[in-house]
Amino acid sequence: MTEAGWVQHAVWWQIYPLGFAGAYPPQPGNAGGGLGKLLPWLDYAIEMGASGLLLGPIFASETHGYDTVDHFRIDPRLGGDDEFDELVAAAKSRGLRVILDGVFNHVGRRHAALGHDNWVRRGPDGSLANFEGHDSLVALNHAEPAVADYVSDVMKHWLRRGADGWRLDAAYATPAEFWATVLPRVRAEFPESYAFGEVIHGDYADFVTRSTLDSVTQYELWKATWSALNDGNFFELSWALERHNGFLDTFVPQTFVGNHDVTRIASRLTDERHIPLALAFLLTTAGTPSIWSGDEQGFRGVKEDRAGGDDAVRPEFPDEPAGLAPYGEKLYRLHQELIGLRRRNPWLHRARTRTVHLANQQFVYEAYDGDSSLVVALNAADEPAVVPGPGTDKIELAPQSWKVVS
């Protein structure tokens, strides 16, 4: 494992700055609040229990941030270098780390890379290759040494400016060998930096090994979490945990129940009473967890496979937390409770799990690491349940509830 020691304590609050600030999608008469709009929310993140910000794209782009045109320039809709420096300084003064979103698999059509013919890939007919059928996203040629030089220079530039690490967008579409070329150069100057890749499917452990990434996104566990709750089938979640245990031999996955690319958990679950169970599971199992901004307030939003289909899950936020509707307060308090539990038990970062009791709608598992352990019981049924606990103990569960026993 290559991750720095501080990652053990990391809990990210993930933000899509362009949407958060009201800069994208464009609204008539609204120029957006820039990165400065995040400043009043830093204490909110701290109070929730987060240890860092996981930011979406902030570099100059054509539209939504993932069509970058200049990786060395802050998107004008978000301000400029001064706004970035102010945000980083304010975050660091509160003990918050900052992770940036690196879109290095592809670029927008106005990126300077298109002026270097060997920097981009082309199809057999000579046309520009793109990312998953999106003509506006031109695929970089990762076999070109100059591209590796460029990406490593970008990553080091912003680490010098105060960032703590990188989320590498669409890492699965980029050859693992490319990252294995770039990341050692970055770590030579910034050995404590953290880099995890967006990998949706495939052999996670093999990709981490070949790429030298610290981690990848754990989409298998995300899917099993909401699917098991929706179907009344905790067997699926138990099976996914076994695979999760295996990944821990190689790396600690980046875990989540929501992010900028998926339907919000409050909309994905067919019964909103299951949200606390999903959250309890996330924060009592191994991983480096992130909370998608708004999920802690019960925001709803459905991702659709169409142009603009991400907008519903990437909304503008109020100018300050006081502008939030009151209905999300209870769920926010639950996030505080469970993140607090995790922060008091940092060994959960690498904890293995073993199944204690398994039924369609009840699941009891033990998270353990050395001499430390917690037993977690989930009841997704509408009826109370009595389930096995530690040793000969029994755990009484109310309908639609969870309980942690140390």
Range of weakest confidence among 31-40, 46-55, 256-265: 31-40
The residue among 1, 53, 12, 98 whose CA lies nearest residue 282 is 12
pLDDT tens, position by position, 65-104: 999 999 999 999 999 999 999 999 999 999 999 999 999 9
pLDDT tens, position by position, 113-163: 999 999 999 988 889 999 988 889 999 999 999 999 999 999 999 999 999
Which residue type occupies 62? E
Over residues 340-353, the mean pLDDT reads 98
CA gyration radius, the chain: 21
Q: How many CB atoms lie within 10 A of CB 195?
A: 25
- Nearest-angstrom CA–CA distance, 228 and 236: 6
Residue 33: predicted pLDDT: 82
Q: Provide the strand spans (E) within 314-351.
A: none
User: Which strands, in side-by-side order, build the sheet including 352-358?
Assistant: 352-358, 362-369, 372-379, 401-405
Question: For residue 63, what are the contacts with CB-CB under 8 A and spacing of at least 6?
Answer: 24, 136
Residue 276: predicted pLDDT: 98
Residue 27 has pLDDT above 80, yes or no: no
Residue 93: predicted pLDDT: 98
Encoding tokens for residue 199?
């990998």
Q: Where are the alpha helices (DSSP H) in 25-80?
A: 42-48
Q: How many CB atoms lie within 10 A of CB 212?
A: 17
Range of weakest confidence among 23-37, 289-303, 320-334, 357-371: 23-37
Q: Provide the strand spans (E) within 125-247.
A: 130-131, 134-139, 165-168, 194-197, 215-216
pLDDT tens, position by position, 201-254: 999 999 999 999 999 999 999 999 999 999 999 999 999 999 999 999 999 999
Residue 1 has pLDDT above 70, yes or no: no
Q: How many CB atoms lie within 10 A of CB 232?
A: 12
Residue 390 has pLDDT above 90, yes or no: no
Q: Is 175:196 a contact under the CB 8 Å cutoff?
A: no
Q: What is the pairing mode between strands 97-102 and 130-131? A: unpaired
Residue 25: predicted pLDDT: 87
- The H or E element that residue 337 is part of is helix 329-344
Residue 212: predicted pLDDT: 98
